[in-house]
Structure 1
Amino acid sequence: MNRKVALWLLWVGFIAYILLLAPPLHLEETLMLLKNIFTLQWLAINPIILSLFSLVGIWLLIYSGLLFIDGRMQRIPFWPFALASIESGVLGLLPYLAFSEPNQEFSGQKDAFLRLLDSRSFGIVLSLSTVGLFAYAFALGDWGDFVQQFQGDRFINGMSLAFCLFCLLFPTILAHDMACRHWNNPQMFWAVAFIPLLGPLAYLCLRPPLPSTIPEERLIANR
């Protein structure tokens, strides 16, 4: 199946699932959960749910580490979809993946923001944060409560499935980022693709720096 068609079908299918098949939405409880998260009332939240919410944010940062660079070379920049994904998660990200074209070359210079996303320290900070979140969830979390909320609450159910979709979709952008870095390493690709979350984090820590070229107009001016 054509990649773009598959991504659009996944986007429509996930929306249909959330609206028609997911457990009911408990709006008051969801708003209270979000209030507790953003006002740092974390003791009132199951550590598994708090960690899952945070890991979705980690995923958005991982994708940002690749797609802001990719968006430099696309007709449609990534930043509007990044803003949309802050509120809607993977639903805001999927349209960008469907619109984008295969890109195997980066040109121009990296600004300060791209240098940050391209740095290994960015991947290291995300990796350490992820290890801490996993430790927090497994050490203190109530798994029975999480399963109950997954089965009975639309927000928790959708957030959990969105986390899984982030894992599933990452290989669709990995090959392009590796090509931009001139890093031909099939073993690394498959290792990253088949190890959910930890593989992409390791990739951010190990990938070679993105080559930065001087814009053509500057070359002409310097002649």
Structure 2
Amino acid sequence: MVRKITFGLIWIGVLAYAFLLAPPEQPGTFELIKNLSIGQWEGINPLVIALFNIMGIWPLIYSAVVFIDGKGQKIPAWLFATVSFGVGAFALLPYLALREPNQQFIGKKNALLKLLDSRVTGFVLTIASVILVAFGLQGDWGNFVQQWQTNRFIHVMSLDFCLLCLLFSALITDDMARRGWKDLQLFRLIALIPLFGPLIYLCVRPPVLEVVQETIPNQEQTITK
């Protein structure tokens, strides 16, 4: 219950901050978002371009855990993961508040879950992230700080990035347990390294252990594969 209340309060707090305390909306924000989305990047700080695109990678990182975690939840995890592509941590915080501890995967993996569970997915996301970070480091930090201080979109997007870095560790323990993996040192590594910690985890984690329930008359039997 404490965990649920904590995540619920964090969600309310970040919503209040984003709408009430963050810098005001600036003219041209919609045009900026449109240009970032369609690849018209001329004149845009590479740091902003990189951050915007990394915010598209984060939901894929979370999906690789949330879709599997959701198999044992009463709430539709896929809905929160899908909405996170648009609003990031603002969609994932309610899921973290409502989910129950789930250290076992019941059933079989479909094609989507196999893709999300694959180490290849982790490698692809890692390569994309390295390219984006390298591109972003060519940007103007002074200009970015100025935009962060005055532009609500840039400010909230940066806050969202930081939240996604911090919140991933809340899902790691159960995901490791589902895989029969109890390397606490790796857990600490993942929790401490922004962005690349979770990516390393996706690249090295073993496949999830499937638990198939077979019901026999007057007897219920569980088989782990």
Q: Which interval holds the TM-score relative to the shorter structure?
A: over 0.9
Deviations 1:79-127 (A, max 9, x none): 1112322222211111011000001111111000000000000000000
- Give the Cα–Cα distance (whole angstroms) in 2 for the partners of residues 36 and 168 of structure 1: 29
Q: CA deviation at 1:63?
A: 0.6
Calculate percent identity across the aligned residue pairs. 51
In structure 2, the residue matched to 1:86 is 85
**Contact 2:24/2:151 (8 A) holds in 1:** yes
Q: CA deviation at 1:217?
A: 5.1
In the alignment, does 2:113 pair up with 1:107? no
In structure 2, the residue matched to 1:98 is 97
Aligned residue type for 1:99:
L
Q: Could you tell me the TM-score, scaled by structure 2's length?
A: 0.92
Q: Could you tell me the TM-score, scaled by structure 1's length?
A: 0.93
**Contact 2:45/2:140 (8 A) holds in 1:** yes
In structure 2, the residue matched to 1:2 is 2
- Give the Cα–Cα distance (whole angstroms) in 2 for the partners of residues 42 and 215 of structure 1: 52
Say which of 176, 182, 185 aligns to 1:184.
182
In structure 2, the residue matched to 1:77 is 76
In structure 2, the residue matched to 1:137 is 136
- RMSD (CA atoms): 1.7
- Give the Cα–Cα distance (whole angstroms) in 2 for the partners of residues 112 and 44 of structure 1: 41
- Give the Cα–Cα distance (whole angstroms) in 2 for the partners of residues 151 and 184 of structure 1: 42
Aligned residue type for 2:180:
H
In structure 2, the residue matched to 1:48 is 47
In structure 1, the residue matched to 2:171 is 173
In structure 1, the residue matched to 2:117 is 118
- Give the Cα–Cα distance (whole angstroms) in 2 for the partners of residues 209 and 82 of structure 1: 20
- Give the Cα–Cα distance (whole angstroms) in 2 for the partners of residues 45 and 71 of structure 1: 38
In structure 2, the residue matched to 1:39 is 38
The residue matched to 1:214 in structure 2 has which SS?
strand
How many matched pairs? 218
Deviations 1:32-91 (A, max 9, x none): 111112222022321100110111111111111000000011001211112322222211
In structure 2, the residue matched to 1:193 is 191
In structure 2, the residue matched to 1:21 is 21
- Give the Cα–Cα distance (whole angstroms) in 2 for the partners of residues 56 and 3 of structure 1: 25
- Give the Cα–Cα distance (whole angstroms) in 1 for the partners of residues 209 and 173 of structure 2: 16
In structure 2, the residue matched to 1:210 is 208
- Give the Cα–Cα distance (whole angstroms) in 1 for the partners of residues 212 and 2 of structure 2: 35
Structure 1 spans left out of the alignment, 5+ residues: none
Deviations 1:158-204 (A, max 9, x none): 00011000111111101010011110111111111111111110000
Aligned residue type for 1:19:
F
The residue matched to 1:213 in structure 2 has which SS?
strand
